[in-house]
A and B are shown apart, each in its own frame.
Chain A
Amino acid sequence: MSKQGRDAGRVELTGLSKRFGGFTAVRPTDLTIPEGSFFALLGASGCGKTTTLRMIAGLEAPSTGRVLIGGQDVTGLPPHKRPVNTVFQSYALFPHLSVADNVAFGLRRKGRKDVAQPVKEMLELVELGHLGGRKPAQLSGGQQQRVAVARALINHPQVLLLDEPLGALDLKLRRQMQLELKRIQTEVGITFVHVTHDQEEAMTMADTIAVMNGGVIEQLGSPTELYESPKTAFVANFLGQSNMLPAAVLGRQGDDLALDVHGVRMTLPASRAVPGSSGSSRIVMGIRPEKITLGKAEPDDAHRNMLRGIVSEASFIGVSTEYRVRIAEGSELVVFSQNRDDERPRVGDEVVLHWNPRHGFGLDAGQDLDAGTGEDAL
């Protein structure tokens, strides 16, 4: 726990922006990251997430706005005077120093002499107690990553910044380090700000995620919130997969909106639609592939939204099968179906798709429905 008080680890950004020549990397952004949280900045490469992190660290000077850490304005302070430490994407371990000297670097610069004990404890926290004498080049990627974390954490920063720290690891090791980082964060209770382009990583680790796109925070919320109620097409596509159905708003019935989707009447709770969109005549209804039930017969519950279609593709994944179903007008829906039944629909079968209206979400019409589906989103 930090000694400076309860809100020492709170990060506030006010009107923060960064321009490089004619290119705007980060548009003016306001953001508050609460003390002790595991906060993820998520977005594709070039969205401004790393620049934002570097401005918090002091490695990049903002064009406008202020950075406050624990209530103190640090905008004008150089990096070595800020109470934050960074875990770099390339780890940036000093190749000419031993592992122990790497970890002791920050303490020594602050003038501490008795570094042996804290270094030993920190190396044990990351389970590298026996490797203190080695040079970084003699460690595996995962071990180097832990040294980078230890080297930053030993200084008890008010905020720990992580810049794609797991990007260089293979998938299995990445999963393992995700859990490890989460454990360490819970143990030390320091605010972690984690930059990543991996939506799964962000959802596994973070309490709060800010999804960035084009230098702007598109949406901020818990992983569940972002996944279940995305507010833009970019968020809906970048976190998981989404089916997008353009619809006409027919009117309001109580708490629900009545919609016309490809000539079929459907409903969507008005509270599930982005504010403002429910008043207009056009809307986009989104539905996650796993929320859709795929069957042969119509559902008993007449309140469920329903469409008919023909299976055009079926890929067996193991736990589930991914279907592409052509609905009447020629557009396709993606459906994930758990492999519980012995008899599964085959390509060419006529099927019925239905889902609970509460699982849909309404987005503003007139945005790029494919935003966030590019290669970077993977």
Chain B
Amino acid sequence: MLKWLRHNLVVFAGLGTLVYMLAPNVVVFVFSFNDPVGRYNYEWAEFSDKAWTDPCGVAGMCDSLTLSFKIAILATLCATVLGTLIAFALARYRFRARGLVNSLIFLPMAMPEIVMAASIAMLFLSMGMDAGFTTILIAHITFCVSFVVTAVKSRVIGMDPALEEAARDLYASPIQVFLRVTLPLAAPGIAAGAMLAFALSFDDFIITNFNAGPDTVTFPMYVWGAAQRGTPPQINVIGSAMLVIAVLVVVAGQIVGRRNRAKA
């Protein structure tokens, strides 16, 4: 018995960690079926599927969700395109101020978020720009670019230069080389960068809060605001749904990857 326990200690430690990490999610999920008494959803009253059948029943919540998605998708697109171009430039070419660009790109990741949030807000203020959708989007692209550059650059640096030479040697024009060889090889890095950018933009609170206007309440801002006034179970619904979707995406990716490997 003791021996068995010792052999499986790692398994138990792993399971324990998993429980520790997932327990809050379970609580959130369970309480999404609650019909709370009063404004706060902290005590179990009775079972209800009201929140799941009417997730947009709370004023303003689904608007904030839509806004967050819009910003996250646009920020991801811009940051991925820009970041990929910058990554190729940094990895492939020697130019003046290359070192400076490299450290500037790294800065948003190393700097405390509050500093960046305040400085961006000051910039917009001094430029006389009204805080709102555009300012949030620009701020998000700024920090997302750093993560995309980092993810893509390491991929491009690790690429065997002979692969592109082989493509050129096999009658591929420069555009074909890029589309048929370079881009597919860099794709995992680009995808990783894009996913990171989306997640960071979607759940960013500090930088968003500094640069948002009165009409632009993103989902994280909404949740924060709701926590002051009362927490409808619909917030639990959105939270649980996002977790489930994220897990499904990862599982689907694993299955596709495994099938590709089995086929090859």
Tell me the A residues contacting B by CB distance below 8 Å: 57-59, 78-81, 84-86, 88-90, 92-96, 98, 105-106, 109-110, 133-135, 138, 151-152, 155
Which residues of chain B are near A151, meaning CB under 8 Å?
170
- CB pair B184–A96 under 8 Å, yes or no, is yes
Given A94-B181, A96-B185, A155-B170, residue A79 in contact with residue B165 (CB < 8 A): yes
Known: A80-B171, A106-B170. 6 other contacts (CB 8 A): A92-B166, A93-B166, A94-B163, A94-B166, A94-B167, A105-B172
CB of B261 to closest CB in A, whole Å: 9
B178-196 with Cβ < 8 A to chain A: 180-181, 184-185
Given A86-B166, A90-B160, A90-B162, residue A110 in contact with residue B171 (CB < 8 A): yes
- CB pair B165–A59 under 8 Å, yes or no, is yes
Which of B162, B171, B176, B264 meets A92, CB within 8 Å? B162
Chain A residue at smallest Cβ distance from B166: A92
- CB pair B184–A80 under 8 Å, yes or no, is no
- CB pair B170–A85 under 8 Å, yes or no, is yes
- CB pair B163–A109 under 8 Å, yes or no, is no
Which residues of chain B are near A96, meaning CB under 8 Å?
184-185
Given A96-B184, A96-B185, A98-B264, residue A105 in contact with residue B170 (CB < 8 A): yes
24 contacts between A and B (CB under 8 A): A59-B169, A79-B168, A80-B168, A80-B173, A85-B170, A86-B165, A88-B165, A89-B162, A90-B162, A92-B162, A92-B166, A93-B166, A94-B163, A95-B185, A96-B184, A96-B185, A105-B167, A105-B180, A106-B171, A109-B172, A133-B264, A134-B264, A135-B264, A151-B170
Which residues of chain B are near A152, meaning CB under 8 Å?
169-170
Which residues of chain B are near A84, meaning CB under 8 Å?
169
Which residues of chain B are near A78, meaning CB under 8 Å?
168
Which residues of chain A are near B166, meaning CB under 8 Å?
86, 88, 92-94
Complex Cα spacing A323 to B160, Å: 46
Chain A residue at smallest Cβ distance from B188: A96
B84-112 with Cβ < 8 A to chain A: none
A-B pairs, top 4 by smallest CB distance, nearest first, are A92-B166, A92-B162, A106-B170, A109-B171
B147-165 with Cβ < 8 A to chain A: 160, 162-163, 165
Q: Which of A58, A86, A89, A151 has the most CB of B within 10 A?
A: A86
Complex Cα spacing A308 to B181, Å: 66
- CB pair B160–A109 under 8 Å, yes or no, is no
Which residues of chain B are near A98, meaning CB under 8 Å?
264
CB of A191 to closest CB in B, whole Å: 16
Complex Cα spacing A151 to B176, Å: 17
Which of A59, A89, A93 meets B168, CB within 8 Å? A59
- CB pair B160–A92 under 8 Å, yes or no, is yes
Which residues of chain A are near B160, meaning CB under 8 Å?
90, 92
- CB pair A155–B162 under 8 Å, yes or no, is no
Which residues of chain A are near B184, meaning CB under 8 Å?
96
Which residues of chain B are near A109, meaning CB under 8 Å?
170-173, 176
Chain A residue at smallest Cβ distance from B163: A92
CB of A61 to closest CB in B, whole Å: 13
Which residues of chain B are near A86, meaning CB under 8 Å?
165-166, 169
CB of A107 to closest CB in B, whole Å: 9
Complex Cα spacing A78 to B185, Å: 23
Which residues of chain A are near B167, meaning CB under 8 Å?
94, 105
